[in-house]
């Protein structure tokens, strides 16, 4: 049997985590975003302007590229609209497909096509900070009262919706 770590060690680690979270939450935060007392990230409701660019593939008329501004950068996405016969009366519900695990907006189109067949529009986004996520840099950015990249990605998803 392996050695068990003492409960005191676990309590010490949890105490350090609680102190760090408290320190982060008490940092001065800008008006555009904030972390609530309950630890939730809040943004004002975004209403970005956007551009639609028709698909270059003549065989896919239900697909277009979307570009919109979010927290200082242009975000790209692919909007897929269901065929008219798959659309539900009263409007088309939509889903935002978020990037992750090295999957980009083009690779999400299998799921987007499936959702389209069910009558859902979808907007698949590209990830803001492709490549390595530097958590140390985001921590320092947060402590300086600036918006970390990981928070900006949350805003990207809200703006897409």
Checking if the pLDDT of 40 tops 50, the result is: yes
pTM: 0.65
- What is the 3-class SS of the chain, one letter each residue? CCCCCCHHHHHHHHHHHHHHHHHHHHCCCCCCCEECCCCCEECCCCCCCEEEEECCCCCCCCEEEEEEEECCEEEEEEEECCCHHHCCCCCCCEEEECCECCECCCCCHHHHHHHHHCCCEEEEECCCCCCCCCHHHHHHHHHCCCCCHHHHHHHHHHHHC
Q: Is 119 exposed, middle or buried (0-12, 13-18, 19+ CB in 10 A)?
A: middle
48 confidence band (pLDDT: 50, 70, 90)? confident
What is the pLDDT at residue 123?
92
pLDDT tens digits, one per residue of 88-119: 778 889 999 988 777 888 888 899 999 998 88
Nearest residue to 77 via CA among 111, 46, 113, 108 = 108
Confidence of residue 70 (pLDDT cuts 50, 70, 90): confident
């Amino acid at each position: 049997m392996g050695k068990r770590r003492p409960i005191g060690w676990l309590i010490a680690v949890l105490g350090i985590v609680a102190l760090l979270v408290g320190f982060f939450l008490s940092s001065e935060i800008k008006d555009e975003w904030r972390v609530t007392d309950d630890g939730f990230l809040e943004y004002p409701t975004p209403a970005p302007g956007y551009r639609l660019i028709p698909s270059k593939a003549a065989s896919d008329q239900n697909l277009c590229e979307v570009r919109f501004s979010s927290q200082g950068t242009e975000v790209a996405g692919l909007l897929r609209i269901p065929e008219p016969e798959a659309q539900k009366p009263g409007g088309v519900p939509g889903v935002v497909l978020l990037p992750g695990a090295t999957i980009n907006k083009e690779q999400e189109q299998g799921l987007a096509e499936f959702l389209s067949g069910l009558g859902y529009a979808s907007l698949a986004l590209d990830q803001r900070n492709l490549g390595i996520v530097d958590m140390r840099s985001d921590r320092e950015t947060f402590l300086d009262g600036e918006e970390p990249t990981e928070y900006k990605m949350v805003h990207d998803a809200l703006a897409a919706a």
